[in-house]
Structures are given as structure tokens and as C-alpha cells.
A and B are shown apart, each in its own frame.
Chain A
Amino acid sequence: MRLLIRYHNIILFIILEVIAFMLLAKFSSYQRSRIYSMKYAIEGSIEKRYARVSDYFSLAEENKSLAEENTRLYNSLPDSYFNPLSSGNTDTSRYKRYVFMGARVISNSTNKQYNFVILDKGSKHGVEPDMAVICDEGLVGVIKETTENYSSAISMLNREFYPNAMIKRNGYFGYIEWLGRHYKKVILNEIPLHADVRVGDTIITSGYSAIFPKGILIGTVEKYEPEEGIFYRITVDLSTDFKRLANVTLVKDMRRKEIVELESGTEND
């Protein structure tokens, strides 16, 4: 008991630190988004009260309708269908591979090491984990968790996100890595030294995973240097400006389950 009194500050310090680390580690991004919903409510009310320029509201509305139109156009794109002619079946809905859905960014960060984007569409709207998130400018990330009304996506600016990518001009592929520094720069790894790389080359998603469709823009080659071994280390200038992300499109791969089954099957062998 005397020890308790004597060291009460140290004990209190340890208790508070344990609570803090529990907050840090124990909450999934799902639980977090619920805690943060308090923040959204406060921010929302501040915004409403102090928005002096009412035009901005119609601007947001306009953006939304444009995003919806984009979604509709994406959905009717021939690329989002399998080739129905090859099988002789003309019911196109059965051969649709990618389904697109518009969403708005509620919160986003660029100055952390593990950045997430919170979106205003959730499981109620059909959002599922591992759906791709893209925007007009390029790749954004991948859905990690969903709640009824919201979902959180791992941003490209997250040190645990390694999407597959390829050089559009010649098809060499590798993976993208963010080093946690600049919000416009990522590294493309594993491009072999014999590949022909040029400054300005377009980098796109490779489509070698069941998450991202092939051909989503990632960025352009800014510089490249040979690394130890047999690979280039390519600095890519991201096409997506994460500092002004507002409207995004979610992509669902209807054949994802089949592909994942195949992939896990080959791994087991």
C-alpha cells in the first residue's frame, strides 16, 4: 500500500499508457470509423452552419451527379463484359465482369505512415472488402472493412499496400510500394534490368490479381536507377492527387471468387 502511494504517478502513467496502446492496437478500422462518426457529425454541423457560399452545395451535388454518370458509363463499357459472342449466349448480364459504383470520400489523410480513406458507401450499398477503389485520375486503393453505411479503404499511401503494376508500353510487371514520405511518389519494384524503361512511361495496374481490373492508371515514371541485384528501382509520380480526393468509383470483380479459389488451389499443391 505504501508502495502504491509512493509510486502512484508512475502507476497512473503506466495505466494511461496501457489504455492508449489498447486504443491504438485493439480497435479495428471498423470500430474506429464508428468512433470517428462523432467527429463527422461535429464537422458536418460546423460546415452547415458556416458555409457562407451556398453555391458550393450545388457544386457538390453536381459533382455527385457527374460521378454517378461516370459510373453508369463505366458499367456500359465493353471492357467490363466478358466476350459474350464466344459462347453464343446473348444475355449480357451474365457476362458482366466488373460492376462500378460511385462513392464520396468522407475522410482521407496523406501525412501518416498508414493512411486510410473513409467512404460514404457501406455493406448496405453492396460494398465488400477487397473491392478496388479508383478515381478519374487513377488508382486510389482497396476496400478493407465495411460497416452498414461506411467503408474504409487502404490508400495507396499506406506502407502495407503493394498493388501489382506494369509498364504499359512493354508489359513488364512488378509491385508498387510507398515509402511513407511524399504523397505523390511511389516506388515500382522488381522490373528487371533488361527491361526497356524510359522516363515518362505510363504505369498501370497489371490485372494479375482478383482485385484491380487491368489498365487502371497509376502514374508515370519519374526516374529509375539500377538497384543491387537484377532489378530497377523506379520512382513513379502518382497520377492521383490524394490531397484533393473527393469522388471515387468502387469496382467489384464478379469473377473474383473463382479466381481466388484457383489461386488458393495452386498454393495448396
Chain B
Amino acid sequence: METATDSKPGAVAFDRRLVYRPFLERLNPIASSQGLLADGLIVAPDHDPRDTGEPPIHVSLANTAELTRGSQMALVGGIGSGKTTELLLTQKELSRHSDAVNVYADLADYTDLNEINPGAILATAGFQLYSHVCSRLRREGRDLPETIKSAHAKLRELALGKTSWIYEDEDYDYEPDRLVPVRSPGVMKLRFPALWPKVEEIQKLLVSIASPLLGSEAQVTLLIDGLDRLITPELFRQFAEQDLRSLKGTQISVIIVAPLLFLYDKSRFVQDYFDVVKHIPAAAAGPRSSAFLRQILERRGAPELMDRAEITAIAKYSGGVLRDLLTLARSSAEYAYRDGEDRIGRRHVSAAIKQLGNRYLAGLGNSQKGLLQRLIENNEFPIETSAAKELLVNRQVLEYFKGGVDYFAVHPALTRILPKTA
């Protein structure tokens, strides 16, 4: 497309915005996954990342939810590894059955994750299932039973709190000016209060609300996102022990994303508690995974703006972290745009890699750099230490699985700049 942009009379120049802007929009690493799925921009993996002979994670999780009602599954992976995308692909897979009730919820949409307490998962599920029940009954021309209405009202009260208006003194004559509000904080602080003593009560309300769905043969699956951002296994564990345990025996299946550190927790809680645990490692460099990473870029229009060499370099230096893949491609495009180029070149990709490497380098002390050097030079990485776990959580070190073997490696963008600074 051409448009007049030059100041010279009659000159016609190429308006690069019209090429770069759609590309940048498709590459937004923080775009809504739902939107990307709807736009067909998600490349679904064709096998389990840990076993090429097994179906992809989303298919396995959906199969388990369909065949074993009430099963509880955990999806574990590092930041930016594509957990939300897998969850949404699972939801899509589950939707192949018209009677399936699938509830996806990112808890950050419902509560302040910094103040969250046990009971929040149940309350969120209760609100979502209430909406499903209302819609279903409306479609069927049936009234909402009183028991469900009252259970929902009680759930709201427990989850959101209430304000009563009382008289300041004991004068019982009606005088509106003398009414003062009294906040009952008992169950509800902020959007969710310290609910854990009330977990059992909330579970009963949830089951009451869901009863029209559970009474039939329909499968109900909760897909819970966001709690992996709590990072530490101890915090997450409270929810499993309170909310998820209370759902056992209800025939409601749960798929929940869990923090990566659970995999390296000595207690092996996640492996022992959940019926199924799926791990998304970073995509290791190799013909199959590199092809997967390239496909993601191609689906978003990369070949229009860069050659195969640049696509390959971006895939390599992303370390297989999907969000880094998009970040590198996007940054490269921005550098090329600012450089006045019509296509992304090697120097733009290099600048983007350096910028990403700098992000990972920021805040690293000498001891952490020492750990990284040991990993680079000797393949030693003491994962049992807190310093090593921090590097893993922060993605300076990535966990890979290849040829049946788990191993660690320094993020390639960081490796590229580390020797000059360590």
C-alpha cells in the first residue's frame, strides 16, 4: 500500500506503519489469549512436550476431564511458557460436547491476588456456575429455584461482605438521619476475605448452586488460572488443601495452573495430590521444537517482514519461552521501524536480543552470576538451593526436557551478554 507522506510535492512514499502496525498487534506478548485463539493466531502443539508419542497437553487434560469426572489436574510451567494458552486450548477441546460446562477463571479478575485467601476458588466457581445455571434455566423456560437463589445470596454475602444500617442509639422511632452504616467485615475483606474458616460452608453453597448441572450427566470443569503467580509452593498449597480438597467427590473436575517451583519441591506435594500433572518445559532447541517456534512466528506474519535467518535467530534466542519469542520479534520490528527499514534485519534482531538479555541481567549479583557460569561451564546447577530456584523462577535459567532427560540451561539471550559482564 502506498500513501502520500513525503513533503515533496507529488512524492509518494511507502507508509511503513501499515506494514508494521498489524504485525506488532499480532505479536503483542501480553495480548489476551482468548482474543488470539479467536483470531486463529494460536499454534496448538501436536504432542506432549515431554513425550512425542503422547497427545498434546490440552488433549490429555480434556480427555481426563471427560472420562473421569471429579479429577483434579495441575498444569505446571515457568512464567511465559504458555500455560494460559494450554488452559484455553483445553477449554476449547472440552467444548466439543454441547452439554459440557466449562468455567475458565483467572482469579486476578475476581480478587486481589495479594490478599487472596482459601475459599476464593470456590467462591469464584460459585459465581460462574450460578451464571451458567441461570442461562440454562432461562433457555429451558424454567424458574430459578429458591434454594439456588438463596445459596447465591449467601455466597455473595460471604464473599463480598455486607453493610447493615442501624441506629446510632437505642431510639427505635424511624428517623433516617440517625441511621449509620455498619460494615460487617467478618467474611469479606476487599474482594475476598479470609475465607478459610468458611470453606466448608462455601463448598455447600457451591454444590447447591451447581446442583442442576451436577444432577444431569453433564461434566463440569473448572479451569483456574492465575495462582501460579503466587510463585511460592507454600501459598499455592493452601488452596489445594482447602478449596480443591473440598471439591473432591463433587464430580466437578478442576484443571489449575501451578507454580513451577512445585516440580522441585521436596515434599512432592503436587505429584502426590493431583490425579494428573502436566509440565510445560521451555521448548528445547531441536528440529521439532524449533519448527514449532517458527510456526508461531509464521502464523503471526513474520515472513512478511523478515527472512528465515532472522526467524531462526529469534526462535533460538527466545530459549523456547513463548512470551520471549514474541517479545524478541516485536522488539526487532520496532527497531527496524525506527531505523526506517522496510524489513527486519540481523542488526535489529541482535539489538532485541541484547535488550532482552539486559532485562535478565538486571539485579543479578556476583553469586548469582557465579551460579550461571557454573551452569554454562560445568553443567552444574544446585536446584535445591534458594538462589538457584530464584534464577529458575526469574527465567534466567530455563528447564528443558529432551531425549527423556531433564536439564537446565542459562537463557540464551542472557548467555549472549553474560561473559562480558560476569
Asked if A pairs with B, the answer is: no
